[in-house]
Amino acid sequence: MSTNISVRPVTQSDHDEWLTLWEGYNTFYVRAGETALSSEIIQMTWSRFFDAYEPVHGIVAESNGKLVGLAHYIFHRSTISITPVCYLQDLFTATEERGKGIARALINEVHKQAALAGSPRLYWQTHETNATAMRLYDKVAERSGFIVYRMMI
């Protein structure tokens, strides 16, 4: 595990390195029949991190002056909680940096931010084929047992 990892909120000056990581994350999830994100969606996502009225947050992991990971999380209302719950929507570590504790550090920071916000729960999902990530997730969290369904509109 690397000891020189720092995790912090994303800043405007991180844009180019964040974009490289974001494109890596989205390439990982583009499958047959799906398309890459449009530049409009990418720009909107980026701008939300800096809008105080948005519940979307971005953090990055930095090592030796280089961004090596990202996480995006959202606070949202729930019908089973008074306070908003926290959804870890995106988590990505640069391929060459995996296995160094970066994803764990990002999850820990989101957990910390959720606790500071008074959120009773942090949750996330991953694709069933993402066995590498699930090995970590099984160590740091419990599987809820829920299966996600979706309908595209």
pLDDT of residue 17 exceeding 90: yes
What is the widest separation between alpha-carbon atoms in the chain?
44
Q: What is the pLDDT of residues 35-90, one digit of tens each?
A: 678 899 999 999 999 999 999 999 999 999 999 999 999 999 999 999 999 999 99
How many residues are recorded in the chain?
153
Rounded-to-integer distance, Cα 134 and Cα 97, Å: 17
For residues 15 and 70, the answer to whether their CB atoms sit within 8 Å is no
Q: What is the pLDDT of residues 100-140, one digit of tens each?
A: 999 999 999 999 999 999 999 999 999 888 999 999 999 99
Distances (CA, A) of 54 to 44, 59, 147: 11, 15, 28
pLDDT of residue 33 exceeding 60: no
The full set of domains in the chain, from first to last, is 5-140 (3.40.630.30)
Residue 28 pLDDT: 80
Closest CA to 107 of 91, 95, 130: 91
